[in-house]
Amino acid sequence: MAKASVRQGIYRVLSDLVKSDNVITIDELNALDDVCEKVFSISDQDREEGFRRTLGEALDIIGREGERLKKKVIGAMERIALRDGECCRAESLLIMAAVYVLRDPKAAKVVSVEFKNRPLLSTQLLYVENKKTVAGRAALDTSFDELSQIVKMGGLDLIYIPRVAKDFRDYEAGKDAARRRSDMKRVLRLVSPTSGDGDLENTITAIQGMSSRYFYNTILNGRLEMGLDVTDPVWMLRLPDSVVTGKGFANFLCLEVDRDVRAQLREFIEEINSRQNAYTITVNDGRSREDRFMYNGFYKALLDVMSVRREDNWDLCVRLYGDGVPAFEYEDRETGARKKCALTVRRGYEEYPLPLTGRDLAFYLLLLCGSASADRGVRFGSDDIEVIGKERGDMIRARSERVNKRYGDIYSHVSRREKKDDRGFPDVWEPKNRIPMRSRVLKEFNRSELARYSSLLSVYLPEENERGLLSVRLAPERVVVISGSETKTLTESVLYKSCFLGH
C-alpha cells in the first residue's frame, strides 16, 4: 500500500479530473470510488486530507514514486475520463499534464497559484523566459507563424511576447498612425476609466516595448503576484482550476522548452489530441486584422492586466532601537544564523527584513521625512563654498548643518550609540559619505522580497528628480514607526515631529 501522502495526492488528482469539465455524473463518481477502493486503498481520511493539497503538490508527491505506481495513476485517470463515453478537452489537458510531470518531474511541473488577481491565460500556450534562454527561441523569431499553426491544431494560441509587442507596434505603423494610437487609447480608456492620458500612453509604450523577461517579472510575478521561480525557459499552459480548503487555485503546466521547438510542439499537440474527442476548434487569438484593432483573446487579457492601476499594499515598519524597541529577529536565508534589524517590509501578517546598518537606515529615514514635508525631499548642495561667495556660502553652510543635525537626531533613535559618540555621525552632506549610503540602500531593497514585484519597487527607492534633491515617492502613511509603546504613521511619529519639524 502506498503511504498516506501519496494516497492523498492521488485522490486530489483523480477528484480534480472528475470536476474538470464542470459536469459530474454518477458513472464518474462510481468509477472514482471503484479506483480509490480497489486500486489505491484510499480511505475517507485520505480523501479529506487530499482536499487540503494543491494539484501541484499532489503531482510532485506522485512524481517521486516508482514507475509502476505512476502508470497506475495515468491508467486510472483515463478510465475515469472515459466512463461517461468521452474524454473532453479539460480532462485531456489534465491527463496530458500528469503524463509529462510523471514522466520527467525535472522537465515538467504543475504550479498551483491562489487566485489573488484575474488570471491571464485561458487557451494559450505561453513562452516564459526569465534568466536563461535556449537555442530553440530562434525558431520563434524566424518561424513563428508555422509554429503557431502547429499549436492551433490542438486548440491553443501560441503566445510569444516579442511577437505581441510587434503586433502592437505594427498596428500603429504606417499611415494613420496618430488615429490608430488614439483608437488604442480609446479602448484602454474604456478598460480603465480612472487612468489619465499619461497612464494610457505609458501602458501602450510598455506593451510595444515588452520583452519576455519584462513580462515574467512585471506581469506574471508583479501585477499577477504568481510567485513563479523559473530559471530555464518554459511553456506555460492553463489547466482546470482547483479548490483547496475553500480557496480557488489556478493550475499551470510548466514544461521546459527543448532545443528543437518544432518537434517538441508537434509531440505536445499530439499528446493532447490523442485523448480528446475530435471537434471543430476556433482559436481566437485577438490580434489586429486589416484595419481593425481586436480587443479579445490574450490581447484583451493583457490590456486588462496592464490597465489596472493597483495600489501597492506593502508597508515599511521602523523599530526605534534607541527608544528601547525590540529588534525584528529573522533567520538569514544564506547562513541560517539568527539576525536582527530595525527596518522591515510587511504585508498583512507577512514581514520581511531590510537589514540596513544604523547609518544607512538613518539616511533613508531622513529622505522619507524630507519627502513627507513641504520640501518634497532633502536638498543637498555640491557647490564650492569658497567659489560662490560668502553670502551664498553661509546659506549653504546653514543648510548643511541643518541636514546633518536632522540626520544625527534620527540616528540617535535607530541606534543604541550615545549622541556624544562622534563616530556614529558621518557628514551626510559630503558626497563621499552620501553616495555610498544611497547605493547600499538600493542594494538591500533590490535583495528584498519587494524585488519580486519590480513594478512596485521603484516607489521605495531614493531618486533624484531635481539636481541635488533626493526623495522617496512612498506615501508617508505607508511608513509605520514603533517607538516605546506607540505605533504611529511617519508624520505622526516622534521621529518626524522631533527630529525633522524641530529643526
Domain-ending residue, one of 307, 323, 351: 307
Report the chain's C-alpha Rg in angstroms: 28
How buried is residue 318: exposed, middle or buried, by Cβ count under 10 Å (0-12/13-18/19+)?
buried
Last residue of a domain, one of 256, 288, 307: 307
Chain position carrying cell 499553426: 149
Handedness of CA 485, 490, 492, 493 (dihedral sign): positive
pLDDT digit string (tens) for 306-331?
Answer: 766 554 567 889 988 777 788 888 88
Please give the backbone phi and psi of residue 84, each rounded to the nearest 5 degrees, phi first.
Answer: -90, 10
Q: Which residues have CB under 8 Å from 449's CB, separation 6+? A: 345, 350, 352
Mean pLDDT score of the chain = 82
β-strand 124-128 against 157-159: which pairing, if any? parallel
78 and 131 together in one domain: no
For residue 407, the SS3 value is helix
Q: Are residues 135 and 99 in the same domain?
A: no
165 & 272 share domain: yes
Please say which residue of 307, 336, 362 terminates a domain.
307
C-alpha 403/C-alpha 426 separation (Å) is: 12
Same domain for 232 and 85, yes or no, is no
State if pTM tops 0.75.
no
140 and 284: one domain? Answer: yes
Provide the residue range defining the domain that includes 75.
4-105
Structural element, H or E, at residue 338: strand 338-341
The phi, psi pair for 146, rounded to 5°, reads: -65, -45
Alpha helices in 415-459 (DSSP H): 431-447, 454-457
pLDDT band at residue 460 under the 50/70/90 scheme: confident
DSSP of 260-310: -HHHHHHHHHHHHHTTSPP----------BTTB----HHHHHHHHHHH--P
Q: Are residues 492 and 350 in the same domain?
A: yes
Considering only residues 397 and 443, tell me which one the structure prediction assigns the higher pLDDT.
Answer: 443
- DSSP assignment, residue 392? H
Q: What is the model's pLDDT at position 426?
A: 83
Based on the fold, state whether residues 66 and 161 are members of the same structural domain: no
Helix axes of 144-152 and 261-273: crossing angle, nearest 10 degrees: 10
If one counts the domains in the chain, the total is: 3
Coil/strand/helix, residue 346: strand
pLDDT digits (tens, 9 = 90+) for 151-175: 998 888 899 999 988 888 888 876 7
DSSP letters spanning 43-84: -HHHHHHHTTS-HHHHHHHHHTS-HHHHHHHHHHHHHHHTTT
Does residue 482 carry a pLDDT above 80? Answer: yes
Judge if 277 and 325 occupy the same domain: no
- pLDDT for the residue numbered 94: 92
CA distance 92 to 278: 12
319's enclosing H/E stretch is: strand 315-319
The CATH number of whichever domain residue 40 belongs to comes to 1.10.3680.10
> CA 469, 472, 474 angle in degrees (round to 5)?
155
* 254 and 397 co-located in one domain: no
Cα 121 to Cα 92, 118, 194, 322: the distances in Å are: 17, 10, 25, 50
Based on the fold, state whether residues 101 and 136 are members of the same structural domain: no
Q: What ranges in 136-176 are assigned the alpha helix state H?
A: 137-142, 144-152, 161-172
**What are the pLDDT digits (tens) for 195-254?**
777 778 878 888 888 888 888 887 888 778 788 888 889 999 999 889 888 888 889 999
Minimal CA–CA distance to 10: which of 67, 78, 70?
70
84/144 same-domain check = no
Residues across the chain:
503
171 and 216 in a single domain? The answer is yes
The more confident residue out of 381 and 69 is 69
